[in-house]
Amino acid sequence: MKYCIVYGSPRKKNTYQAVQMVKNKLEQLEPSEFTEFFLPQDFPVSCTGCFTCFMKGEQLCPHRRYVEPMERAMLEADGLIFASPVYVMELSGVMKNCLDHFGYLFMPHRPRREMFGKSAAVISTTAGAGTKYAIDGICRSLSYWGISRIFRCGVSMWAGSFEEMEPKRRARMENALEKTAVRLYQSLKQGAHVSLKTKVKFLMMKQAVLKFAQNPIDQDYWKAQGWAQGETPWKQLKGKKSKC
């Protein structure tokens, strides 16, 4: 299996360690290939809000040299893993900034058909509370990219590090991380599955793109995909064992 991992912490501590536990489990289940991106190093620029990606095309984004390798790695991967610490009850700023650069992949713009067949895991660590909000923030982007199966794992440490955690809590959290890896792996083995919720969302977005938004490059893209003419991304998922 191929995985693309995005780390949203500037330091290799708790969130990094949590992801290593998931990686180790995935490796146990099947030898795997991981392409990893570390933020902010691999994305050292902030979205300027220029609207170029939306109105003229993502190829013209002033930060394309950072966006393109990550998009390519995500499209080539079977599974995606996003991980962020909780910062002031939210996802980290570097993770949010990274996701902002992929606004053009949202369904009402130019989603990629490959995304509809993927599964993802979203992991967050916190000293006390807030993983729900950090994970929600990431899941929102992923679901608007077309991903139906997203497995969430929030690690509330009540300590500064894994080593300082109360042993029972640590064992429970490590178990939860391993389970997340198993669920991600099993969903990938089952093949592409697009949920009814994602299908309905896609069909609603189709109305927005074709009738209301009137952005020519979005409309041209939808026509080129055949989606304006009735095709759907889930029927187009070729080469995947599909349960769509």
Positions touching ligand FMN (CB under 6 A) are 9, 11, 13-16, 85-89, 125-130, 157
Please report how close the Cβ of residue 159 comes to ligand FMN at its closest, in angstroms.
Answer: 9
The alpha carbon of 176 is separated from its chain's Cα centroid by a whole number of angstroms, namely 19
What does the buried/exposed string (b/e) look like for 63-95 if buried means 16 or more CB atoms within 10 Å of the residue's CB?
A: bbebbeebbebbeebbbbbbbbbbbeebbbbbb
What does the buried/exposed string (b/e) look like for 116-143 if buried means 16 or more CB atoms within 10 Å of the residue's CB?
A: bbbbbbbbbbbeeebbebbbebbbebbb
If the CB atoms of residues 86 and 120 are measured against ligand FMN, the closer one turns out to be 86
Closest CA to 16 of 80, 84, 70: 84
Angle at 81 between CA 221 and CA 189, to 5 degrees: 85
Residues 157, 131 contacting (CB under 8 angstroms) = no
If the CB atoms of residues 10 and 103 are measured against ligand FMN, the closer one turns out to be 10
Please report how close the Cβ of residue 82 comes to ligand FMN at its closest, in angstroms.
Answer: 13
If the CB atoms of residues 61 and 155 are measured against ligand FMN, the closer one turns out to be 155
If the CB atoms of residues 61 and 86 are measured against ligand FMN, the closer one turns out to be 86
Please report how close the Cβ of residue 185 comes to ligand FMN at its closest, in angstroms.
Answer: 23
If the CB atoms of residues 89 and 203 are measured against ligand FMN, the closer one turns out to be 89
Measured between alpha carbons, how far is 116 from 226 in angstroms, rounded to an integer? Answer: 15
Please report how close the Cβ of residue 158 comes to ligand FMN at its closest, in angstroms.
Answer: 9
Please report how close the Cβ of residue 38 comes to ligand FMN at its closest, in angstroms.
Answer: 11
